[in-house]
Structure 1
């Protein structure tokens, strides 16, 4: 199953920010250059975690505040707690709905038919 199908489903469910945040965090964790890491951390924070972010993800206040403080000197694990939280949300909510959706069933049927 392609990542594109899941992303399309999340868009239809107004949950695409979760997968985008998770993917951005995965990319961030692979960064080794401190300047690149700092730039990516700032972008992630402003895109997904700032209270007025366009694609704000649903995390608790304490986690958000810890990340806000970590932005002064972001390390390789500053998003780990939020990333785990968002992953659990997708695992327990979005994924089960996706597997039951017409979109998934159609994709699965098309995949079987192409074999």
Structure 2
């Protein structure tokens, strides 16, 4: 024990130890609270991505951010899938092939990062296209944006500019 503390009465030392335990507990609680708040913000951000994608100003700001990172393929794919859902049945085959060639085919100009299983499922479904053909692949691209690029976007000047414009 250091010289200064040895001269203190035992009751003071016991109270100091008790305070240290309480402060440690409080620090742990505060760390948990910050972690919990972070999780809530992550979930809120995930929900807000949908609002962003429904807004022309939001899409423009998010696209600008993604272009600055050379990673706009997920957004472009997601938007193409949304447009595809409203394509008349007679045109779905041609439109589906265009989307596949542009985004899904290995080596595509704007290839999205899909697992092999999803890629193969889309390829098989091209034989008999329907409005849900790209559903799983689109959801995968959405999740990638929500978990990765959207979080970075929230801290970017593009986001602040969009908020000012809105």
Q: Distance in 1 between matches of 2:68 and 2:102?
A: 20
Give the structure with higher Rg (CA).
Answer: 2
**Do structure 1's residue 73 and structure 2's residue 128 form an aligned pair?**
yes
Change (3 A) 1:111 1:59: same
Task: Give, in angstroms, the shift of residue 103 of structure 1.
Answer: 2.4
Which of 50, 65, 70 does residue 9 from structure 1 map onto? Answer: 65
Equivalences, count: 110
Q: Distance in 2 between matches of 1:23 and 1:106?
A: 22
Gaps of 5+ in 2: 1-54
State how 1:19-98 maps to structure 2 within 5 Å: 19-31=75-87, 33-98=88-153
Task: Give, in angstroms, the shift of residue 111 of structure 1.
Answer: 2.7
Q: Distance in 2 between matches of 1:65 and 1:81?
A: 12
Q: Cα RMSD (Å) of the superposition?
A: 1.5
- TM-score, with normalisation over the residues of structure 1? 0.88
Task: Give, in angstroms, the shift of residue 107 of structure 1.
Answer: 3.6
Higher relative contact order (CA 8 A, sep 6+): 1
Q: Distance in 2 between matches of 1:97 and 1:4?
A: 16
Task: Give, in angstroms, the shift of residue 84 of structure 1.
Answer: 0.4
Where does residue 111 of structure 1 map in the other structure? Answer: 165
Q: 1 or 2, which has the higher helix percentage?
A: 2
Task: Give, in angstroms, the shift of residue 105 of structure 1.
Answer: 2.2
Q: SS at 1:54's partner residue?
A: coil
